[in-house]
A and B are shown apart, each in its own frame.
Chain A
Amino acid sequence: MQPTLFPQHPQQWTVSKLTFYIRRLLEENEVLQDVWVQGEISNLSRPASGHVYFTLKDSSAALRCVMWKTSAARLGIPLQDGKAVEVHGKIGVYEVSGQYQLYVDQIRPVGEGALYQEFMRLKAMLEAEGLFAPERKRLIPAFPKKIGIVTSGTGAALRDMLNTLRRRLPLVEVILAPSPVQGMEAPPALVKALQSLILQSPDVILLARGGGSIEDLWAFNDERLVRAVAMSAVPVICGVGHETDFTLCDFAADLRAPTPTAAAELATQITMIDLRATVSNIQSRLVTATLNSIVEQKSFLSSLVSQLRYASPDRRIQSELQRVDELSRRAHSSLYHHIQLQSAHSQGLARRLEALNPNAVLMRGYAVVTRKDDGSVVSRVVQASEEMRVRVSDGEFEVRKIENRNS
């Protein structure tokens, strides 16, 4: 036997237990946790907490509704008593007051449900034909020269896009094909505008419209326009409505932008900042390259000058002069040396001569004795005669021998 979620039922309940049981019953019912309900708003209350309370009613019943602040913040439409709406949410029970209520997460105007179904049908059909295939998407040129815009001639979308383009890339040329963007006349007018732009051969086309309800944006789900976008010879960026709005043109376009401003940004990947930086960089390179070129020239010239100097006769002359100096210095020095030697030599000789001078001997007291008869020198006793001459340093005198004495 399968375990039951519910405990054995007591014979007598408490209010809490019974209410809790009811709550569990309703909240575990899958159908009740995902419902779309159509009705009219009444008793609308929006206290300071930010939560929204109202009663949804029709002719025979009423349903209490509460929408928390976070879901209410995402509301795309204004709420007021008496408004017919379709509301999505889940059923819950507020035990404190014994109330079942619908916790609402989406609200849309009545009739949107039908539109949404048509949207899904068309989407499936066109997707099956391959109109939305990723392979068909083309790249948006990074630096467009000409941008086409299909949008309302008045309205914030155009103004925002022009301001964005003006700021990012004023070099670009913009061609506008104004067109009504909602109502029965919109789809064929938009197709015509798109085609007239393609004839001008822009680099990219922006298809744009400001925010609105699904009915307001419905023209961009029109089969004729979607096909024209898919078949466009020029890449198309589609920027319709707000971030969360998706139209079939978004799927058929080469690129989807969340808003018209974003479409203009996506069309100008390269901006003035990039262009200025490009010019600045290339100018730096110009200066650097020129300087390097000049430095190279200079160093080449310098090396030539060096070589020239090296080969110059001037250098040879200097070299020779130096050699002459060197030789002359050596010659001098050697001559001097020679003279010194000679001088020393002759001084030496002079001294020796001086030493040999007989006069010097005589000065010391020695005498030269000679025989008177023949003038021969008497150096031995036997040679002495009766009469002799004695020569002393400053003259001579005669002497008579007295007697021989041997030493």
Chain B
Amino acid sequence: MPRPSSKKTEKAVEELTYEEALAELEEIVSALESEQNQLEESIKLFERGQALAARCSALLEAAELKVKQVAGDELIPFVDVSE
């Protein structure tokens, strides 16, 4: 599994979707578990990992069901008339 290199442009954590954040977090944990890392590298990976985990949790907690409706070829927001 290739080590996540610092050369790869890393997106800001706040811009990641739940899936993206989770996937990167998995990569980081794999790297930490399987490879010999320098101490500084380990710490950096850990910090990014914590930020990603926090992002995932935040997205989960803030999630609100998005409901749209088809109208012809387009989507319009769904208005719940029964409420």
Interface residues of A (CB under 8 A from B): 153-154, 158-159, 162, 165-166, 170-178, 193, 196-197, 199-200, 272, 275-276, 278-279, 282-283, 285-287, 289-290, 292-294, 296-297
- The answer on a CB contact under 8 Å between A276 and B60 is yes
Question: In the complex, A23 Cα to B81 Cα: how many Å?
Answer: 60
Question: In the complex, A158 Cα to B53 Cα: how many Å?
Answer: 34
Closest to A158 in B: B82
- The answer on a CB contact under 8 Å between A279 and B68 is no
Chain A residues positioned under 8 Å from B42 (CB to CB): 290, 293-294, 297
**Smallest CB separation, B24 vs chain A (Å):** 11
Interface residues of B in 24-73 (CB under 8 A from A): 25-26, 28-29, 32-33, 36-39, 42-43, 45-46, 49-50, 53, 56-57, 59-60, 63-70, 73
Question: In the complex, A170 Cα to B64 Cα: how many Å?
Answer: 5
- The answer on a CB contact under 8 Å between B65 and A279 is no
Known: A200-B75, A282-B53. A290 touches B32 (CB 8 A): yes
- The answer on a CB contact under 8 Å between A177 and B75 is no
- The answer on a CB contact under 8 Å between A172 and B46 is no
Closest to A163 in B: B65
B22 CB–A CB distance under 8 Å:
yes
Q: Could you list 16 A-B pairs, sorted by A, with CB under 8 Å?
A: A166-B65, A173-B68, A174-B78, A196-B70, A199-B73, A272-B63, A275-B18, A275-B60, A279-B53, A282-B26, A282-B53, A286-B28, A286-B29, A289-B29, A289-B32, A293-B32
Q: A162-B80, A279-B57, A289-B32 are in contact. List 7 more A-B contacts (CB 8 A).
A: A165-B65, A196-B70, A272-B63, A279-B56, A285-B33, A286-B28, A289-B33
Question: In the complex, A292 Cα to B34 Cα: how many Å?
Answer: 11
- The answer on a CB contact under 8 Å between A200 and B53 is no
- The answer on a CB contact under 8 Å between B18 and A177 is no
- The answer on a CB contact under 8 Å between A286 and B70 is no
Interface residues of B (CB under 8 A from A): 18, 22, 25-26, 28-29, 32-33, 36-39, 42-43, 45-46, 49-50, 53, 56-57, 59-60, 63-70, 73, 75, 78, 80-82
Closest to A156 in B: B82
Closest to B55 in A: A279
Question: In the complex, A199 Cα to B75 Cα: how many Å?
Answer: 11
Chain A residues positioned under 8 Å from B53 (CB to CB): 279, 282-283, 286
Chain B residues positioned under 8 Å from A282 (CB to CB): 22, 25-26, 29, 53
Closest to A272 in B: B60
Question: In the complex, A297 Cα to B38 Cα: how many Å?
Answer: 8
- The answer on a CB contact under 8 Å between A279 and B49 is no
Chain B residues positioned under 8 Å from A287 (CB to CB): 46
Chain B residues positioned under 8 Å from A272 (CB to CB): 60, 63
- The answer on a CB contact under 8 Å between B22 and A170 is no
5 tightest Cβ-Cβ pairs between the two chains A and B: A289-B32, A170-B63, A290-B46, A293-B42, A283-B53
- The answer on a CB contact under 8 Å between B78 and A176 is yes
Closest to B72 in A: A196
Question: In the complex, A49 Cα to B56 Cα: how many Å?
Answer: 58
Closest to A165 in B: B65
- The answer on a CB contact under 8 Å between A173 and B60 is no
Closest to B67 in A: A174
Question: In the complex, A196 Cα to B68 Cα: how many Å?
Answer: 13
- The answer on a CB contact under 8 Å between B37 and A171 is no
Chain A residues positioned under 8 Å from B78 (CB to CB): 174, 176
Question: In the complex, A294 Cα to B36 Cα: how many Å?
Answer: 10
Closest to B35 in A: A293
| Contact with B75, one of A154, A175, A289 (Cβ below 8 angstroms) | A175
- The answer on a CB contact under 8 Å between A285 and B29 is yes
- The answer on a CB contact under 8 Å between A176 and B70 is yes
**Smallest CB separation, A339 vs chain B (Å):** 63
Question: In the complex, A290 Cα to B49 Cα: how many Å?
Answer: 10
- The answer on a CB contact under 8 Å between A297 and B39 is yes
- The answer on a CB contact under 8 Å between A175 and B33 is no
Chain A residues positioned under 8 Å from B46 (CB to CB): 286-287, 290
Closest to A173 in B: B66
Chain B residues positioned under 8 Å from A193 (CB to CB): 70
Question: In the complex, A153 Cα to B70 Cα: how many Å?
Answer: 11
**Smallest CB separation, A146 vs chain B (Å):** 10
